């Protein structure tokens, strides 16, 4: 096993070397045709290398797990029993499993989230211990993690989750509470065994650089996220988690949406999340007759999103101390991966007294349309969202559409039917046009909200509009942020 993986690593390195050589030596290709052909080949090679790297990581992971399993083979059964007991204890909100207490001590020392040590007994490949990945019928178990702090309105969110949840076994709800706010804890406790209630144990003060004092809330949020996600994946053993915050309304087909898109997330390595949120999903900017339509986006939307243990295993060791959402949008974390997002949001935020909201809520968030029409996603063929299918169709649709201007659209002067395109060639041009339509005009790590391959797609006066960069677009420019 180890030899094989070493061979793979060596192979990848050689391949990389070849590609780099290839790119450097072939750079000044003059004819456009050649450029297209060469870049096609390069991206093919790049994909192969990526696949090999992914394979290597899997193999290495296997090796690690094997070792760990051998070491722990005697204690596995004991661990399993211990784990069940711990789960019960946590459920009753009393004792925390031993390992966490150790983690917390470490955290106190360094004031950062420590990389998790994945216990052998949660390993996917272990046959001795039940995992929380699938129901007996093979359908995925998708846990819902609700983040709560000091807002008793978490009740509004929990009521909706419980009301729309089709199956409590398939969608266990775990409420993670930070802040030790008595009234909020009381509200959560009322749900009894309909939910699992856990509490972030580290209430120590966080040292914040003086300049960032007023952003302390963001440091607490990042700490809470890091702890709770470690707990969900590595203590409770879930394999898929939907993250919800305590100020979200959800749509009736919220669970159906995530269950229907789960196979995409599980099978397409170029996807790293499914989000319920359309950043430009205001009434007037969405097609209200297209509740079934979904998109890929390079912009990480958050606000009701699903991730896998695989992703968390990757992010957890480097989880930041604050501003996790902008951090996760950086190229080092995103690594060119996309999320699925809906035409019409399946979540909407009702809280305007959050850490960040305020003005943002008044100006934008409160106009987001929440879907009301139940779409049977699990019965739909969603393979059009897989990268290989999607990109070809998307690029064709965008760049074959008629070019128009904002004023032509606004005054209804466009005669051609179907989708249209408004080109932009600079950051400022993008922002100006976005403002005219009432779209979000900001960039994060160079990516505009809902952007895919630089294209922001929305709905305006009965037609699909693509705000699109040049057809030769070749990546986001992080200086546009």
Ligand X SMILES: *[C@@H]1O[C@H](CO)[C@@H](O)[C@H](O)[C@H]1NC(C)=O
Half-sphere exposure of 357 (CA within 13 A, CB side): 15
As measured in angstroms, the least distance from the Cβ of 418 to ligand X is 20
Residue 27 binds ligand X (CB under 6 A): no
Based on CB atoms, which residue is closest to ligand X, 228 or 259?
259
Considering only residues 351-410, where is the footprint of ligand X by CB under 6 A? 381, 383-384, 389
Residue 250 CB partners (closer than 8 Å, separation 6+): 157, 160, 161, 164, 244, 276, 304, 346, 347
- 327 Cβ contact partners less than 8 Å away, ≥ 6 residues apart: 320, 333
Q: What minimum distance in Å lies between the beta carbon of 381 and ligand X?
A: 4
In the complex with ligand X, the residue whose CB is nearer, 138 or 462, is 138
Least separation in angstroms between residue 294's CB and ligand X is 13
Residue (133 or 263) nearer to ligand X, CB: 263
# residues near ligand X by CB under 6 A: 4
Grouping H, G, I as helix, E, B as strand and the rest as coil, residue 195 is coil
**Cα–Cα dist 252/372, whole Å:** 7
Helix (H) or strand (E) run with residue 403 in it: strand 402-403
Closer residue to ligand X, CB minimum distance, 314 or 397: 397
- State the first-to-last Cα distance of the chain, in angstroms, to the nearest integer: 44
Please list the residues that pair with 349 across neighbouring strands: 248
Residue nearest to ligand X as judged by C-beta position: 381
Token pair belonging to 360: 């943002």
| Interacting residues with ligand X between 461 and 480 (CB under 6 A) | none
Rounded least distance, CB 389 to ligand X, Å: 6
CB nearer to ligand X: pick between 372 and 383: 383
Please name which of 297, 290, 292 lies closest in space to residue 274, comparing C-alpha atoms: 297
Nearest to 230 by CA among 126, 333, 104: 104
Between 50 and 387, CB nearer to ligand X: 387
Tokens 């699925």 — which residue? 340
Taking the complex as a whole, the smallest distance from the CB of residue 261 to ligand X amounts, in Å, to: 14
Q: Is 140 strand, coil or helix?
A: strand
Bridging pattern class, strands 173-177 and 196-199: parallel
Backbone angles phi and psi of 186, in degrees to 5: -65, -45
Q: Which tokens go with 357? A: 């909201």
What is the Cα–Cα distance from 71 to 119, expressed in whole angstroms?
11
Q: How far is the CB of 345 from ligand X (least distance, A)?
A: 25
User: Under a CB-based contact definition with an 8 Å cutoff, are residues 407 and 414 in contact?
Assistant: no
Nearer to ligand X, 137 or 381 (CB): 381
- Least separation in angstroms between residue 79's CB and ligand X is 41
Query: H or E segment at 338?
Result: strand 338-342
| CB distance 85 to 31 below 8 Å | no
Of the two residues 33 and 379, which places its CB atom closer to ligand X in the complex?
A: 379
Q: What is the contact mask toward ligand X in residues 77 to 96, using x (rule: CB under 6 A)?
A: --------------------
Contact between 245 and 178 under an 8 Å Cβ cutoff? The reply is no
The residues annotated as belonging to the active site are 325
Q: SS3 of 436, please?
A: helix
Residues that bind ligand X (CB under 6 A): 381, 383-384, 389
């Amino acid at each position: 096993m180890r030899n094989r993986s070493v061979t793979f690593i060596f192979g990848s390195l050689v391949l990389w070397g070849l590609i780099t050589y290839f790119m450097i030596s072939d750079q000044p290709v003059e004819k456009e045709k050649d450029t297209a052909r060469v870049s096609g080949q390069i991206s093919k090679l790049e994909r192969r290398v990526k696949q090999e790297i992914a394979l290597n990581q899997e193999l290495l992971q296997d090796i690690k797990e094997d070792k760990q399993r051998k070491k722990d083979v005697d204690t596995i059964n004991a661990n399993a029993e211990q784990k069940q007991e711990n789960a019960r204890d946590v459920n009753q909100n009393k004792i925390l499993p031993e390992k966490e207490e150790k983690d917390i001590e470490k955290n106190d020392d360094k004031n950062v989230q420590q990389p998790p040590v994945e216990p052998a007994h949660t390993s996917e490949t272990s046959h001795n211990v039940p995992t929380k990945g699938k129901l007996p019928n093979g359908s995925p178990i998708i846990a819902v993690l609700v983040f709560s702090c000091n807002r008793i309105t978490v009740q509004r969110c929990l009521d909706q989750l419980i009301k729309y949840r089709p199956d409590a076994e398939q969608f266990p709800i775990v409420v993670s509470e930070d802040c030790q706010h008595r009234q909020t804890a009381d509200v959560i406790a009322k749900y009894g065994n309909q939910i699992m209630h856990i509490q972030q144990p580290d209430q120590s003060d966080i040292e914040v650089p003086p300049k960032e004092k007023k952003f302390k809330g963001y440091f607490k949020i990042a700490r809470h996220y890091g702890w709770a996600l470690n707990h969900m994946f590595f203590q409770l053993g879930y394999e898929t988690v939907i993250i919800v915050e305590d100020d979200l309304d959800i749509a009736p087909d919220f669970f159906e949406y995530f269950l229907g898109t789960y196979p995409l997330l599980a099978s397409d390595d170029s996807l790293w999340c499914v989000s319920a949120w359309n950043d430009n999903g205001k009434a007037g900017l969405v097609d209200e007759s297209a509740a079934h339509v979904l998109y890929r986006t390079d912009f990480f939307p958050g606000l009701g999103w699903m991730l896998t243990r695989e992703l968390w295993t990757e992010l957890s060791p480097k989880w930041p101390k604050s501003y996790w959402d902008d951090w996760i949008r950086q190229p080092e974390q995103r690594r060119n991966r996309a999320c699925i997002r809906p035409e019409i949001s399946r979540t909407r935020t009702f809280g305007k007294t959050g850490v960040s909201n305020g003005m943002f809520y008044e100006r934008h968030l409160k106009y987001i349309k929440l879907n009301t029409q139940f779409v049977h996603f699990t019965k739909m063929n969603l393979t059009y969202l897989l990268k290989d299918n999607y990109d070809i169709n998307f690029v064709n649709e965008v760049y074959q559409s008629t070019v128009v201007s904002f004023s032509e659209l606004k005054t209804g002067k466009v005669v051609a039917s179907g989708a249209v395109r408004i080109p932009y060639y600079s950051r400022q041009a993008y922002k100006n046009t976005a403002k005219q339509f009432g779209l979000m005009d900001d960039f994060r790590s160079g990516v505009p909200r809902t952007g895919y391959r630089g294209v922001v797609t929305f709905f305006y006066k009965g037609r699909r509009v693509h705000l699109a960069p040049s057809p030769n677009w070749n990546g986001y420019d992080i200086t546009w942020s």
